[in-house]
Amino acid sequence: LLHDLKKGKMSKLFIIANRLPVTVEETAEGNFYRQSSGGLVSAISAYLRLEDSNQFTKKIWVGVSECAERVWASAESVTPPEYDFKPVFVPPKLYEHYYNGFSNSVLWPLFHYFPSFADYQPSYFEGYLKVNAKFASELERILDPKDTVWIHDYHLLPLAAMLRKKFPQLTIGFFLHIPFPSYELFRVIPREWQHELLSGMLGADVIGFHTEDYLQHFLTSVRKVIKARIDHRTISWDGRDIQIGDFPIGIDYNKFQGASSDHGVLTKRSEYLRSKLDKRLIFSVDRLDYSKGVFNRLKGYREFLVQNPHYKEKVVFALVIVPSRDTISKYAERKKLIDEYIGNFNSRYGNINWQPVIYQYGHLSFEELVGMYTACDLALITPLRDGMNLVAKEFVASRRDRQGVLVLSEMAGAANELTEALLINPNDRKEIAKMIKIGLEMTPDEQERRMTAMQKRLQEYNVVTWAKEFFTALARISSEQMKKEPL
């Protein structure tokens, strides 16, 4: 009650993430807003569109604008009515250090267990802190101490502490969308940076991770670096209690279930079914990224064809890679290697009538994506490391027919929930080959049994349940903090 009185139930919700839900596209006809893509954007936008988020008087999404202020200002206003958004403008050079540099050339490779890909340039870290400070100063102008702030992902690890300094009473949540690595990896970051990153996160009231493992790794790092007092899932530090929790992100289940009967999706699905003729169809879609394990996937598929030559000309693998971060050399190199590998593969194993791999480097529309999810016989998802992997969940949710098989890497956070998938170790190409065969030959009854169990879980723990559980934890801890403070 005290908490409600103090908050006056007039809380605005600020979603803070690197990426905004929209970008501005410059065209000959004018500049228009275009929907951004990515797991974080689709999950949070889905929550903000739903009734449950109306407990907040206003919803504002704050993120970096990908275009200049002048271009943003000229865009036709098509703000979705459900929420507002506020762009933060970052000069290109600074953005380079913060996004391509520290976020994606230090934190991303390290947190995905690619330590040799990390490049510890001091200018990257300086740029990273500067952009976080810019977020903090922009927010200071529009925040009220009784508002609720929900910060997302590895681009903004120091932000909670920066805001806490200005607004000791603010309710702050933080959620990490990628794995938190073992301390043995985290400790390779320069010591001063380790401290800055962890104490930055500890500015929040609740810190969420996808899995219990990531949470435990984080606690070990806090214990070793910050030396804070830890009692089960509560960290006491700097005069405050911080709650840690695992909240595996869900998807907008009904959207994907419902989509399988949309006209556009059905049209795409029949197009794909027509073009595959009597062949079995394997499908995968990922952003361009070394953590997604595209090579081991292709090697596993090749092994399957070698071991089962009677499948030649009877199966095709549709592999879609969505362009991402391709101005970073490790990503551009990967693209080149994948292109070469597939060219080689098709020329050696294929013939004039048949190519074992159909490859697209580009975006898929929603209709194309669900068209593929519902047309394929098997989804092959083999990341070497993945915080969650929403593609696996979307594929399962789309299969209203309860058919289709999911082959999934046990290194994806989603493997904890999708236990009826055929789980593989992505480094074991023989196992991938074996599971492809088992999957393609699975009886319809067995497919249905597995799909039904996975769908039940995804329907129950969807994106709304995820956000609700996070906000419940946040409300509980912030009201406990309030009780300690005088009115």
Applying CB under 6 A, the residues found at the interface with ligand F6P are 19, 38-40, 153, 177-178, 324-325, 387
Q: Which residue is nearest to ligand F6P (CB)?
A: 38
Contact between 130 and 103 under an 8 Å Cβ cutoff? The reply is no
Please state the closest distance from residue 352 (CB atom) to ligand F6P, in A. Answer: 38
When the beta carbons of 40 and 172 are compared against ligand F6P, the nearer one is 40
Other Cβ atoms within 10 Å of 276 Cβ, number: 17
Please state the closest distance from residue 67 (CB atom) to ligand F6P, in A. Answer: 15
When the beta carbons of 39 and 87 are compared against ligand F6P, the nearer one is 39
Please state the closest distance from residue 430 (CB atom) to ligand F6P, in A. Answer: 29
The span from the CA of 382 to the CA of 484, in Å, is 48
Q: Which of 207, 211, 395 shows the shortest CA–CA distance to 286?
A: 395
Sign of CA dihedral 144, 148, 152, 156: positive
When the beta carbons of 257 and 324 are compared against ligand F6P, the nearer one is 324
When the beta carbons of 89 and 237 are compared against ligand F6P, the nearer one is 89
Contact between 427 and 293 under an 8 Å Cβ cutoff? The reply is no
Q: Which of 400, 408, 407, 392 shows the shortest CA–CA distance to 448?
A: 400
Q: 3-class DSSP state for residue 25?
A: strand
Q: Which of 202, 184, 177 shows the shortest CA–CA distance to 110?
A: 184
Q: Which amino acid appears at position 293 of this protein?
A: G
Please state the closest distance from residue 324 (CB atom) to ligand F6P, in A. Answer: 5
Please state the closest distance from residue 294 (CB atom) to ligand F6P, in A. Answer: 16
Please state the closest distance from residue 155 (CB atom) to ligand F6P, in A. Answer: 8
When the beta carbons of 88 and 228 are compared against ligand F6P, the nearer one is 88
For tokens 């390779």, name the residue. 188
The span from the CA of 322 to the CA of 46, in Å, is 21
User: What does each C-alpha distance from 139 to 143, 164, 186, 313, 405 come to in angstroms?
Assistant: 6, 12, 29, 58, 46
Please state the closest distance from residue 388 (CB atom) to ligand F6P, in A. Answer: 8
Q: Which amino acid appears at position 481 of this protein?
A: Q
H helix and E strand count, the chain: 19, 17
Cα pseudo-dihedral 272, 275, 281, 284, rounded to 10? -50
When the beta carbons of 250 and 387 are compared against ligand F6P, the nearer one is 387
User: What does each C-alpha distance from 17 to 125, 129, 175, 377 come to in angstroms?
Assistant: 18, 15, 10, 36
Sequence-ordered list of residues with C-beta below 8 angstroms from that of 142, at least 6 positions apart, any chain:
60, 86
Strands (E) across 171-215 are located at 171-175, 206-209
When the beta carbons of 75 and 249 are compared against ligand F6P, the nearer one is 249
Contact between 280 and 314 under an 8 Å Cβ cutoff? The reply is yes
When the beta carbons of 178 and 298 are compared against ligand F6P, the nearer one is 178
Other Cβ atoms within 10 Å of 445 Cβ, number: 8
Please state the closest distance from residue 459 (CB atom) to ligand F6P, in A. Answer: 22
Contact between 88 and 135 under an 8 Å Cβ cutoff? The reply is yes
Please state the closest distance from residue 251 (CB atom) to ligand F6P, in A. Answer: 12
Sequence-ordered list of residues with C-beta below 8 angstroms from that of 224, at least 6 positions apart, any chain:
183, 187
Looking at the DSSP assignment, which residues form a beta bridge with residue 379? 283, 406
When the beta carbons of 316 and 408 are compared against ligand F6P, the nearer one is 408
For tokens 């309710």, name the residue. 171
The span from the CA of 17 to the CA of 154, in Å, is 9
When the beta carbons of 107 and 298 are compared against ligand F6P, the nearer one is 107
When the beta carbons of 38 and 264 are compared against ligand F6P, the nearer one is 38
Please state the closest distance from residue 57 (CB atom) to ligand F6P, in A. Answer: 27
Please state the closest distance from residue 153 (CB atom) to ligand F6P, in A. Answer: 5
When the beta carbons of 87 and 387 are compared against ligand F6P, the nearer one is 387
Cα pseudo-dihedral 245, 247, 248, 251, rounded to 10? -170
Please state the closest distance from residue 387 (CB atom) to ligand F6P, in A. Answer: 5
